[in-house]
Structure 1
Amino acid sequence: MHKFKLSMLTVAMATAGLMSGIAAADQTADTQNNKQLSAKEKAKQEAQLEVIEIKGFRRSVVDSINTKRFSPNVVESISAEDIGKLPDSSIAESISRLPGLTSQRLDGRASRVSIRGFGENESATTFNGREQVSIGDNRGVEFDLYPSEIMSGVTVYKTPNATLEAEGIAGVIDMQTVKPLSRERTLQFSGQYEQTSLDKLNPDGNDNGARGTISYIDKFADDKVGIAFAYTSMASPNQEKRWNAWGFNNATLDGDDITMLGGAKPFVRSSTLERDSALFVLEAAPTDKLKLTFDALYVDFNDEKILRGIEIPYGWGYAVSDANTEILARDGDFVTSARKSGEKLVVRNDAEDRSAEMTAVGFNVDYNLNDDWSLEFDVSNSQVDRKIWSMESYSGYGRGDNIGPYDTITYSLVDGTNGAIFTPTLDYGDFDLVKLGGPRSWGSSAVLNNTYGVNGDPVYNNAAQDGFINAPEISDELTSFKLAATQLLEDAGMFTKMSYGISYRDREKQKKSEGYFMTLKDFPEMVSVPEQYRLGTANLDFIGMGDMIAYDSRGLVRDGYYNLIQESLTNPDHAAKSWTVNEEILAYFVQADFETELGSIPVTGNFGLRYLDTDQSSQGTAYNTVNGEVVFTPTDVSHSYSHLLPSLNLTFDVAEDQSVRLGAAKTLSRARLDEMHSSVSASYNSTPDANGNYWAISGGNPLLEPKEATGVDLTYENYFSDEGYFSVAYYWKDLNQWIFDGRYQLELEGVANPSTGEVPETSGATGSGKVNGGGGTLHGYELSVTLPFNIISESLDGFGLIASHSRVSQDVTDQNGNAYSLPGLSDTVQTLTGYYDHAGFQARASLRKRSDFKGDVYGIGFNTQQVDVKGETIVDAQVGYDFGEGGFTELEGLSVFLQGQNLSDEPFVSLQDGRVRDYQQYGRTFLLGFSYKM
């Protein structure tokens, strides 16, 4: 049996002119500790790769196929020909076209990625093989933070091995940067102009934007030192028409039980995502035995939103009665159209700023002790600070519930899908009639204004909320170390290599929650919008409401027109929403790579063990009421556990260019960080509960442990062409531990007994929150094909098709035996891309389709809320031309493109209790761009 090192394959690919593609494959190989290949396989690959001399989109397709083909794991891959030339402007959009993957849109942009029916929380994301922090409350990475312009490739691991430095039941997504020593000197500029199809929905919004990138790659010192630098700046507009229902309420009218619209909050949104990113990579190989790599990524991210609409309380605003409500149309007991009098509507001029600053740095040392032994040391740190400033500004007719004119308003649901059309009787676009101030008596706090009438009766007691500001903050930091050794085995039978290692990860995530009541300084008077803050009107014809006043609410707050009062002064809920979670993970791994034959069938693969020892802790607050006073007590809870995760990957070369893969592994997904904190609200009962506890608490559960699964993957792959393949995959996972709502036991220390004010030494508590338990199975199949039409006829050279279909089923129950639907699971997912790439001309059209699923959206106070999301079909297209490839030598290096996103104008639709909760229309987006490479 002949063995050789992977570097020989690298040389063969370099000879074939594919070094840019192998940069991503090299990164994958580094992460996987270099798969061993037989001499027969090497010769076959060399023979195939020598004839490949293609560029452009087809080249990235070939590179992705090679990464998939030569990986010991089941993977999917995206490769970029150059920095800034991923097939899409968004990493999430590119990823969501891979077989078995899809994405959920957030504010019109693909952001949250689902792998094989699992939501974002069941997969891990790494950057150059290192786990990353997140800007949300949970672990899921929002891919908008990572610009595609500075990435060279993405690899999705559907089956793990022992050397991967991240855990996820669904898989691991690794984003990779360029390696400058494998590239030639390049200076590249690119720019894009972006335009939305919806006209400016807000007078101060943007419907166009731009982005630009500059990158430089070079080598020095006899090609022993290489650098890569890329800087990209983006201002990307996004617009939305949104119907949002509070829900539907039950009422009795004329002695008849009915269900009608409870309330609505439709609006138009204009937002601009501004992102500045800088990437630096330094690679040095001072000797043949030593390689040093340093990489750093900095991202400054700000998403500024303008939201204007009219909040319509309707059925939940004032009582539904025979006197003020008239039913106009109904479907059984469900009212599809009605007219209601005595309504006070709230005109909303809202604003939101979501900003984040992220840094990620890493240093890697790879040293060959001799021909058989190599050592690797890796250290990294990533951190992010995120702030949200989300403001609601109210205006309307008259102060409070009972002052000013009332509206008589009619609603009619339109086909039960995209919300309602309203017919008001008042004009909401007149600055002389609609004034600043709260037209409803919303909000209650003892520190708000108290105004009394002539008889001493309270008129505005603990009220007068003229707006509200949510201002949560998140900080997340992750530091990791790894020391690994690789031993090549020459005379060990079937075994070709051993890998050993130890790693350590220390992560701390902190959230601070705060809110502010806004009250006009001229309270209780309502105030006309000052002339300098008037912006005109926003049009709400899409819901029948006509024009509404538009003003600069940010400027009014900035210039002191409102008093801001902390909500936490009287509302202790913010204490339960503020917390710190720390997680320390010590990992040991060992992996054996082998090569043998089963009869006449060559078999390669690896078997590994990964042992994880986890210490987690949380610091927070427990609050309860003692003698009418809220008492806050610090909490600090620690918990530890361990896991042994075996993994097996086998590849059977059943015929020339055909293989069967078998993967089996035990995997885990760690609990959401916002579910495992120790901040709780506490109440004391005079009699013990069934568990013998006097305390009842609700909030986070710091004792949560990861979800666990045992999975098996079986895949057949047929590489019938240098540019084409098809595969059939089946996967099955036994989810032997999940996380559900339930009860748990916890010891409270230092919390006072409300009846006596004394602090007992120890006291048991029954907690309500997330708990481990339940489980079930998930299984599915995937069909994927990349078909170059030149295998049909040479006259069709350049045409091709990429398609996939996946179907997944689940049978999961909670700890009480009740059926449970996994978040992010669509029964079916399809992707289809047709392309043409020849003589410099490139064109492609892509479709991605998914069926209904349960998705996470932001609710009140930025709490995560799960809703039913309707399936969607997204169509994108791009056309471009490379002048150099087209034979224009004087324009060598220049390429241009035009891209259209969401060409089908597909809305995002979520349901609650089977009825439309959200109907979000984003319109189409067009990008015109160029790239010039010297």
Structure 2
Amino acid sequence: MKNGIFKLGLIASSISAILSPSVALAQDAESTVNSDIEVISVSGIRGALARSQAEKMNASSIVESISAEDIGKLPDSSIAESLARLPGLAGERSGGRTSGISIRGFKEDFTGTSLNGRELIGIGDNRGVEYDLYPSEIMTGATIYKTTEADLMVQGIGGTVDLQTVHPLQASDTITINTSYELGERDSDNPEYSNKGHRAALSFNKKFADDTFGVAVALATTESPNNHRNYGVWGYATNDDGQILPTGISSHVISTELKRDTISAVFQYRPTDKLDIVLDVLNIDYSDSGIRRGIIDPFSAVNVVGTGANSTGTQINANPVLRTDPRQKTGELNTLGLNLEYFVTDNWSVELDAATSKSDKRDLRGESYAGLGRSGTVDPSQYGTRQFQMSPDGIVFTDSSGLDAFSDPNLLQLAGPQAWGGGMASLSDQFETDALQVNGNPLSYLDAQDGFLNYADFTEELTTVKFEVVGNLSGDIFTKVTAGVNYSDRFKDKVNKGFFATTDTYPSSESIPSDYVYGLADLTWMGLGEVVAYDGFAPYEDGTYTQNDAGFLEPDRLGDTYEVNEEVVTLYVKTNFEYAFNDMFLVGNVGVQYVDTQQSSTGTIGVVGSNFKVCDDNDDGLVDESCKVDLGADYSHVLPSLNLSLEFADSQFLKFAANKTISRARIDQMKASGFVKFTQNIDQISIPNSAEAIENYGSPWSKFTGNPQLRPLEANNFDLSYENYFSDEGYFAVAYFYKDLVNWTRDGDQTIDFTNDETNNGANYFVPGYHDRVIENDGTYGPAGVFYSQGDVVTPPDLGTYSFFEDGLEGTVKGIELTANVPLNVIADVLDGFGVAASYTYVDAELEDGSRVPGQSDKSYSITMYYQYEGFEFRVATTDRTGFLTYERGGSNKISEATRSAVTLVDAQVSYDFADAGIDSLEGLRVSISGTNLTDEDEETVDDATGVVSSRRQFGPSYLFNVNYSF
């Protein structure tokens, strides 16, 4: 046997014992570790890197890891920021905070996430875990499996992230107090919010009864501000002169505050060397609430001078909507897990693990509209004008006239300035009035929308039970066998609700009540001046708004309400082996999983009926049975895996892995629900009824359904890695990976006749009086410029698009990872304490239909430069990723795709640990100052057709002063 791997392997094992109770228990039972082992004792960032290196080296599969010296010592505000710096991983910001994590180009929905080996649920819309939910204070580290093993129950095509909490019998008795003060460099543009926050945590670890019983508890609370500016447009169009201009403006200032309270408790009882019992409890209660406030209006221009995207001119007919969108996002996550491990003999053990998790979330988003006056009641001659300057970076306004009301609450009217009320057609009688528009026609339901209240409720429950047998073998090659069965039962539902809001003063309007007003919000950075800042929830709470349930008015509400159920049984077996030959040493494992799945979904197909309501032909407020859907599927997979690690020279390894993995389809894609949607816009309704016109201009019709029979995404994976560990604190590695995607979810679509739907038994969705429109004024309408006279009835085209999801898409993902951790003392002793940890990942992904893998950046890198001397430590970290496809919450609470541009983030930290200061009273004290987004990096999305920035989010840097005291 080769000594190098065993010496370093045992070092890694002793380090891992801090993180894993099963390792320590096995060591006690088998007496494999003696007191002469050299244990890495370097602290700070050097110690953390050395621990991660030891774990990577000792693994027969390809892994990455992060670790903390003690609970509460991770320098980041959440585990997400630490994960984003690891090789092959890339972070995705949500509202300015790193929340999502991609592994090798796969978004978190396509990776598995576990907590202490158990599958973890999040509080998101899909399967992916929101990593910023987990405060660093409760974590001791994380291991990222880039290749899988047969006894790894939580898997994904991208890989697996296993988060770890402390186990009290493997840790020292400590009490840790952690406090932080947070400051955003940019003041809030909204007067009712601050740029200051704080964090506090208390954790303790204690052993009792001759070290047979241990308790570890962590309590953490966070109040973290986030203020950013959001430039946006509806889109861009090129006019007859070749000038590129926006079709509409949508720019806002956004302020939120994350409040998170966490309780983590671990109880461990080991009465003998043969029995170990661990009980884990976790509760996270959080809210991420705030305000989105800004201007939204259509865009028309005259006197435009310039070419392409570079021009100046005057916006005319400006009739803006001041959108005040308050948000309350609240949720709670609870997990409870019990693990029992018993050594039947010195070589054979059995393990029983059972866990249950539940999460609840409500995402409430209000909309309140204000402007010059109610839709139809303001003469166009009273509309405003703005001077603008256009460039590839977007549009900015330099001056305006006629819009002074937006900074004066006595002039600004609490009413909807635009005719957005088409969805209330079935309630037209409620809004009949003798009051006239300026054109002489009566006001109607089209003019009656003054706001909207969106909310979505999510519930997810997961129960898992695992029974496993592990045996140490005495053969010359095969050393260990693991076999077991795992059962999981998952339930997730979504209830999508919405309410149209109309002021109680309809058909007239009134100014903003003085008790609503906070002050003024700053939009001067966009050239839109200061605007009235008022409480957008107030008119909902005090009864000023009359609310009408949109569930039976908008088809996509019921069409996005659903339940999904999954039951999965996994049988697995894995064998470890080792073999020495020609002064080389080979270790590895081979195994297989058999996975049997039963999945189902219930939901509703939302369709407007003859009474203009959705799935309520009986007007009884109950969903018609004819609209309900219940579908599912049963199937199985065989998932083999092989991992090899060959030490062919001293501390130099070749690692190879081959396996098949699956990632279950996104929850929102598996829903049974769907809808038939119709755009209530005369320009769309008047599109000619021909296939050519539909191809050129689109259609007001659309149909969408989920697919509860989708199979999991499936890939055959191959990995090859060279790893050179040239010191206890230094290594470099080169890895190549190849993923053959044999099944990926495809976005399907086909053109159908909405008066004779061949995909639904010839259904006719056209409803006279709802889907047609009577012309009010002579003129040309629609993109085809068709002339209609007053009184003409315009009927929509018959054709439109049916969108759905289907299996069968194939593709490949391949890439290279370069990783190095270099302590500079290997160059010269005078550089002791200096070091660089860096990684670079290149990913080439190709799906056969040309679509992109969500989360895939072609290139990403991370560089951390550090200096550590005695108690002083400094580090600066840079992460960079190229543009990528993602998805986010869109209109009507549905998921929509978004493209993010390249982003580079720079963070830094300076800290001092008083352990070596020679002051007894300060021993255990550590202070630090850290800054994130120090280069004030924006996030931009570029319009594919024009190359002009269509959205820009500006967050600004933030700073954290931290005091950590352990005793």
TM-score (ref. length: structure 1): 0.90
Residue among 301, 322, 337 paired with 2:312? 337
Q: How does 1:724-735 map to 2 (within 5 A)?
A: 724-735=730-741
| Pair 186,51 (structure 1): closer, same or farther in 2 beyond 3 Å | closer
Contact kept in structure 2, 1:219 and 1:225, CA below 8 Å: yes
Q: Residue 828 of structure 2 aligns with which residue?
A: 793
1:590-669 equivalence runs, <5 A: 590-624=573-607, 627=610, 630-631=614-615, 632=624, 633-669=627-663
Q: Which residue identity lines up with residue 876 of structure 1 in the other structure?
A: D
Give, in whole Å, the separation in 2 of the partners of 1:11 and 1:836.
28
Q: 1:437 aligns with which of 415, 424, 431?
A: 415
Structure 2 match to 1:689? none
State the match for 1:409 in structure 2.
386
1:270 and 2:255 correspond: yes
1:556 maps to which residue? Answer: 539
Find out whether 1:360 has 2:335 as its counterpart.
yes
Aligned runs of 1:207-606 on 2, under 5 Å? Answer: 207-252=195-240, 256=241, 259-315=244-300, 325-331=302-308, 334=309, 336-404=311-379, 405-413=382-390, 415-417=391-393, 419-421=395-397, 423-425=399-401, 426-427=403-404, 428-444=406-422, 445=424, 446-447=426-427, 449-453=430-434, 458-490=442-474, 492-606=475-589
Q: Deviations over 1:504-534 (max 9, x none)?
A: 1100100000111111111222222222221
Q: Name stretches of at least 5 consecutive residues in structure 2 with no aligned partner.
A: 616-623, 678-701, 752-756, 768-800
**Structure 2 residue 146 is matched with structure 1 residue 165:** no
Q: What is the deviation of 1:197?
A: 0.5
Distance (whole Å) between structure 1 residues aligned to residue 202 and residue 674 of structure 2: 49
CA displacement, residues 725-778 of structure 1 (integer Å, 9 cap, x when unaligned): 111111111111111111699x99999976999xxxxxxxx9741111121211
Letter in 2 for 1:855: T
Structure 1 residue identity aligned to 2:459: S
CA shift at 1:371, angstroms? 1.5
Aligned residues: 881
CA contact (8 A) 1:10 1:22 kept: no
* Displacement after TM superposition at 1:460 (Å): 2.4
Q: 1:147 aligns with which of 129, 135, 142?
A: 135
Letter of the 2:827 counterpart: I
Opposite residue 916 of structure 1, the aligned amino acid is V
- Cα distance change, pair 419–869 in 1 and its aligned pair in 2 (3 A): farther
Distance across 1 between alignment mates of 2:855 and 2:453: 30
Q: Secondary structure at the match of 2:704?
A: strand
Asked if 1 retains the 8 angstrom alpha-carbon contact of 2:20 and 2:167, the reply is no
Which digits, 9 at most, give the CA deviation of each residue in 1:691-738, with x for residues without a partner? xxxxx9631011111111111111111111111111111111111111
Matched, 1:805 2:840: yes
* Aligned residue number for residue 760 of structure 1: none
Q: Secondary structure, in 3 states, of the residue corresponding to 1:266?
A: strand
Distance in 1 (alpha carbons) for counterparts of 2:715 and 2:563: 28
* Match among 812, 816, 834 for residue 777 of structure 1: 812
Please report how far the alpha carbon of residue 813 of structure 1 lies from its aligned counterpart in structure 2 after TM superposition: 0.9
Note if contact 1:883-1:889 (Cα within 8 Å) is conserved in structure 2. Answer: no
Give 1:167 deviation, angstroms: 2.2
CA contact (8 A) 1:627 1:755 kept: no
Q: Is the 8 A contact 1:243 1:918 kept in 2?
A: yes
Q: How far apart, in 2, do the equivalents of 1:37 and 1:832 lie?
A: 41
Q: CA deviation at 1:600?
A: 3.1
The aligned amino acid for 1:372 is: N
Shift in Å, 1:568:
1.4
Q: Secondary structure at the match of 2:272?
A: coil
Equivalence for 2:17: 22
Q: CA deviation at 1:10?
A: 9.8
| 3-state secondary structure, aligned to 2:568 | strand
User: Equivalents in 2 of 1:755, 1:473: separation in Å?
Assistant: 29
RMSD: 3.0
**CA–CA distance in 1 between the matches of 2:138 and 2:671?**
35
CA distance in 1, matches of 2:610, 2:499: 27
Q: Report the 3-state secondary structure (helix = DSSP H, G, I; strand = E; otherwise coil) of the residue aligned with 1:23.
A: coil
Letter in 2 for 1:344: N
| Local SS of the residue matching 2:418 | coil
Distance 2:537 2:19 in 1: 45
Alpha-carbon deviation of 1:594? 0.4
Please give the alpha-carbon distance, in whole angstroms, between the structure 2 residues aligned to 1:752 and 1:202.
53
SS state of the match for residue 472, structure 1? strand
CA distance in 1, matches of 2:766, 2:674: 21
Q: 1:928: which partner in 2?
A: 961
CA contact (8 A) 2:349 2:471 kept: yes
Deviates more, 1:637-646 or 1:258-267: 258-267
Amino acid at match of 1:798: G
TM-superposed deviation, 1:610: 0.5
CA distance in 2, matches of 1:221, 1:303: 42
Range moving further from structure 2, 242-251 or 902-911:
242-251
| Alpha-carbon distance in 2 for matches of 1:566, 1:191 | 45
Aligned to 1:320: none
Change (3 A) 1:172 1:554: same
Q: How many angstroms does 1:623 deviate by?
A: 3.8
Residue number in structure 2 paired with 1:761: none
SS in 1 for 2:557: helix
Q: Work out whether residues 78 and 133 of structure 2, in 8 Å CA contact, stay in contact via their aligned partners in 1.
A: no
Hey, what's the Cα distance between the residues in 1 that align with 2:534 and 2:264? 39
**Structure 2 SS opposite 1:307:** strand
* Contact map agreement 1:827 1:851 (CA 8 A) in 2: yes
User: Please, which moves more after superposition, 903-912 or 586-595?
Assistant: 903-912
Alignment equivalent of 1:122, drawn from 110, 119, 126: 110
Structure-2 change in CA distance of 1:843 and 1:756 (3 Å): closer
Q: What's the CA shift for 1:258? A: 5.2
Structure 1 residues 767 and 907: alpha-carbon distance in aligned structure 2, compared to 1, 3 A threshold:
closer
Aligned residue identity for 2:396: A
Amino acid at match of 1:508: F
Instruction: Give the CA deviation at 1:796.
Output: 2.3
Q: Which amino acid aligns with 2:724?
A: N
Asked if structure 2 preserves the Cα contact closer than 8 Å seen for 1:29 and 1:71, the reply is no
Change (3 A) 1:267 1:738: same
Deviation at 1:682, TM superposition (A): 6.3
Aligned twin of 1:319:
none
Structure 1 match to 2:786: none
Q: Please say if residues 823 and 855 of structure 1, whose CA atoms lie closer than 8 Å, have aligned partners that are also in contact.
A: yes
Identical-residue share of aligned pairs (%) = 38
Determine helix, strand or coil for the equivalent of 1:609: strand
Partner of 1:864: 895
Q: Secondary structure at the match of 1:265?
A: strand
Amino acid at match of 1:237: P
Q: State the 1:251 CA deviation.
A: 4.5
Q: Distance in 1 between matches of 2:896 and 2:763?
A: 33
Q: Per-residue deviation at 1:145?
A: 1.3
Residue 398 of structure 1 deviates from its aligned partner by 1.6
Distance of 1:341 and 1:28 partners within structure 2: 72
The alpha-carbon deviation at position 790 of structure 1 amounts to: 2.2
- Answer whether contact 1:243 1:419 (CA < 8 A) is retained: no
Q: Deviation at 1:797?
A: 2.1
Q: Secondary structure at the match of 1:62?
A: helix
Contact 2:72 2:176 (C-alpha < 8 Å) held by counterparts: no
**Structure 1 residues 727, 517: closer, same or farther in 2, change over 3 A?**
same
Q: CA deviation at 1:276?
A: 0.3
Aligned residue among 65, 75, 87 for 2:75 = 87
The Cα offsets for residues 798-835 of structure 1, whole Å up to 9 and x where unpaired, read as: 21111111111122213xxxx22222111111111111
* 1:681 aligns to 2:675 (yes or no): yes
Give the secondary structure class of the aligned counterpart of 1:246.
Answer: strand
Distance 1:311 1:713, change over 3 A: same
